[in-house]
Every structure is written in C-alpha cells, then in structure tokens.
Structure 1
Amino acid sequence: MNVDFHVHSVFSDGKHDPEVLVNQASKMNIFIALTDHDTSRGVSRVEGKVIPGQEVTTQYGHVVILCSFPPDPPSDLTSLVDYSYQNSCILFPSHPFDVFRKGIGKKIYEFKFNAIEIYNSKAQRWANRMAETASKQLSLIGLANSDSHVKESLGSAYNYIDLDEFNVEEILEKVRKGHVYPRPRGLTITAKLKIAQWYIERKLGLEENSSRALREMQRN
C-alpha cells in the first residue's frame, strides 16, 4: 500500500475538492491523508477514504498531525504534542528546514515527534537532506510526501506500508512502529507548471479580494 501523508484541498490553500484528490490518488494506487492548514472540515466529504489530519501552524512553524478521527488540535506546539499523545495520533514536522515555507528548523530537536518529513516534493534539496540527517540523529522514521496543492503533484512522493486494506488505525500503528518506507519520486514538468499556475491564480485572487474589501470599506 502506498500512502501520501501530506495533501491539501480547497478547504485551505489547495485547488481541488477532497473528492477530486481521492479519485486522482486512487488512479495512482495511492491513499492520502487530508492535511489542510488548521482545519479538518474537508475530511467529512471523504470520510472513510482518507487519513484525517491537519497541517497545524504552530508558533514555530508547520507540524502535521494524523489521527483516526478529524482532529481539532491546539496551535501551541507543547500542547499539540500532548494532544497527539493523549489521542494516539501521529505527529511530524513538515518540511522542517524549508525556511521559505514555515519549517520549524532546529525546534525539531526540542520536541517529541513520531516521524520527520525527510522528503517534501516542493522543498529544496538541501532542506530535505537536512531533514534526513535529523531523522537519523533522532532515530525517527522518515516520511516522503507530496505536499500536494494541485492534483498533478500527487505521486511525486509517498510511502510504502505493508498492508492490503485501508485501515487508518493500522496505518498509524505502522508509522508509530517505524514500518514505513519512503518513496521520493520528484515533480513532473506538468506538475511544476500546474503548481506555478495555481500560485499565480491564488495571488491574483487574493489581490482581487483585498481590493474588493477596500472598496467596500471606502463606501461605508
């Protein structure tokens, strides 16, 4: 079984509905965790078909939590670690050394995690190498994830787990025991173009929304 533990949908800053992502991943024989930024709202749309999670924006940067239920975690990292432990969830820092995308950096050494994202398909090579070094130093399992915001980037990274059927609790237990094998692949040219296109679309959309809000304020 192949599993991508870091995927975003329209419920945060991704382009596609959760259903689209699940269908696309299924065509590639990949299961996904839905890890939108600071929300689990999209999980209900594909309940039973994804691993529920979030990419939490902590005071130090981004950390992914995966649970057997749609989590509602705190943003304080110390409290988040406690929440994860108390609810038998999995916690790992995403792109920890990517300084351009809110990685937690050296804080990785100060908190207790279950794993480390050692390959993020959008992170710089040196950042992924630093994450892999940290995983070895801390004796933590390394994960490879797409961090997909567009469906075309699914398949750029995933993890092999020796399971025949999709069962969230069994998958989390495999991660907890370190029985996970990262499969970094890399982004295709098509995926890179779609990522760039989506970035431009979002930027223009945000600017348009800001201008509209400013005009409304000026009228009042």
Structure 2
Amino acid sequence: MRVDFHVHSFYSDGKHDPRTLVGYARKLGIFIALTDHDTSRGIDQVRGEVIPGQEVTTEFGHVVILCDFAPEPPKSLSSLLDYSRENSCVVFPSHPFDIFRQGIGKQVFNYVFNAIEIFNSKAPRKANEQAEKAAKSLSLPGLANSDSHVKEALGSAYNELNIDEFRVEDVLQGIMKGSVSPRPVGLTATAKLRIAEWYIERKLGLEKNTRRAMREVQGN
C-alpha cells in the first residue's frame, strides 16, 4: 500500500477540496493523510477515506499528528506529544530542517517522536539530507511525503507499507513499528508550475474567493 502522510486542502492553505484530493490520489494508487494546518474541519468530507491528521504549528515549528479520529491537539509541543501518546496517535516533525517553512530544527533531538519526515517534495535537498541523518541517528522511521497544496504534487513522494486493506489503525501501527519504506520521487514540471501558480494566487488573495465559492457550491 502506498500512503502520503502530509497533504493540505483548502481548509488551510491548499487549493482543492478534500474529495478532489482523495480522487486524484486514488488514480495514482495512493492513500493520503489530510493534514491541514491547525484544523481537522475537512476530514468530515472524506471520513473513512483518509488518515485524519493536522499539521500543528507548535512553539518551535510544524509537527504532524496522525490519529484514527479527527484530532484537536494542543499547540504546545510537549502537550501535543502527551496527547498523541494518550490517544495512540503518531507524531512526526515535518520538513524539520527547512528554515523557510517553520521546521523545528534541532528540537528533533530534544523530544521523542514516532518518525521523521526525511523527504519533503518541496524542501531543499540539504534540508532533506539533514532530516535523514537525524532519523538514522535517532533510529526512527523516515517518511517521504508530498506536502501537497495542489493535486498535481501528489505522487511526488509516498511511503510503502505491507498492508492489503486500508485501515487507519494498521497504517499507524506500521509507522510505529518502523515497517514503512519511504519512496522519494520528486516534483514533475507540471507540479512545479501549478505550485508556482497557486503561490501567486494566494499572494494576490484569490484563494479566499476560491474557498468561499467552493464552499457555497458544496453547501459547507
């Protein structure tokens, strides 16, 4: 089974609605975790079809939490890790050494995580290499994720698990046991173009109009 553990919808700063992302990913043979920034609002749209999660903005930077329910975690990193343990969730630093996108940096060595994102399709190569070294030194599973904000970025990274049927608890256990193999692929030229276009649209403030229109169409 192929799984991407880091994907954003228009409920935070992504372009597309959750159902569009799920449909696009399935065509690629990939399951996804929906990890919008500091919100689980989009999970109801695709409940049972995604791994529920969030990319939490902690005091040190971004950390992803994945659960078998729509989480509402605290933002303090120590409290977040306690919440994760109490609820059998998985927590990993996202793009930890990407200084341009709120990576937590050396805090990866000061807290106990379940895994580390060692390949982020949008992070600089050096940042990914640092993350991989950290995962090896800490004997933690490494994850490869797209960090998709546009659907065309899906498929740029994923992870393989030896699971036949999609069950969230089995996927989370696979990460905890370290039985996950990262598959870094890289962004296509089309994906890079769509990312650049979306960045410009967001800077111009057009994403708010896009979200509002889509929600009105969908009745959300």
- TM-score grouping bracket, smaller chain normalisation: over 0.9
Structure 1 segments (4+ residues) deviating >2 Å: 206-209
C-alpha distance in 1, partners of 2:208/2:129?
Answer: 38
The Cα of 1:145 is off from its aligned counterpart by: 0.1
Equivalent position SS for 2:204: helix
Which residue in 1 is equivalent to 2:52? 52
Q: What whole-Å deviation, never above 9, does each CA across 1:65-120 have from its counterpart, x for those lacking one? A: 00000000000001001000000000000000000000000011000100000000
Which residue in 2 is equivalent to 1:152? 152
Which residue in 2 is equivalent to 1:68? 68
Q: Quick one: structure 1 residues 169 and 125, their matched pair in 2 at CA, closer, same or farther if it must change by over 3 Å?
A: same
Q: Could you list the runs of 5+ residues in structure 1 that have no partner in the other structure?
A: 210-220
Alignment of 1:38-117 (within 5 A): 38-117=38-117
Q: Could you list the runs of 5+ residues in structure 2 that have no partner in the other structure?
A: 210-220
C-alpha distance in 2, partners of 1:129/1:145?
Answer: 14
The Cα of 1:128 is off from its aligned counterpart by: 0.1
Q: Quick one: structure 1 residues 140 and 19, their matched pair in 2 at CA, closer, same or farther if it must change by over 3 Å?
A: same
Contact 2:15 2:207 in 1 (8 A): no
Which residue in 2 is equivalent to 1:25? 25
Q: What whole-Å deviation, never above 9, does each CA across 1:174-194 have from its counterpart, x for those lacking one? A: 100000000000000000000
C-alpha distance in 2, partners of 1:66/1:161?
Answer: 16
Equivalent position SS for 1:191: helix
Which residue in 2 is equivalent to 1:128? 128
TM-score by length of 1: 0.93
C-alpha distance in 2, partners of 1:195/1:47?
Answer: 26
The Cα of 1:207 is off from its aligned counterpart by: 10
C-alpha distance in 2, partners of 1:142/1:107?
Answer: 16
Equivalent position SS for 1:170: helix
Equivalent position SS for 1:200: helix
TM-score by length of 2: 0.93
Counterpart amino acid of residue 133 in structure 2: T
Equivalent position SS for 1:132: helix
Which residue in 2 is equivalent to 1:217? none
Which residue in 1 is equivalent to 2:216? none
The Cα of 1:206 is off from its aligned counterpart by: 6.8
C-alpha distance in 2, partners of 1:155/1:85?
Answer: 30
The Cα of 1:28 is off from its aligned counterpart by: 0.2
Which residue in 1 is equivalent to 2:13? 13
Between the two proteins, what is the percent identity of the paired residues? 69
Aligned Cα root-mean-square deviation (Å): 1.2
Which residue in 2 is equivalent to 1:178? 178
The Cα of 1:208 is off from its aligned counterpart by: 9.2
Q: Quick one: structure 1 residues 39 and 208, their matched pair in 2 at CA, closer, same or farther if it must change by over 3 Å?
A: closer
Equivalent position SS for 2:132: helix
Which residue in 1 is equivalent to 2:217? none
Counterpart amino acid of residue 159 in structure 1: N
Equivalent position SS for 1:64: strand
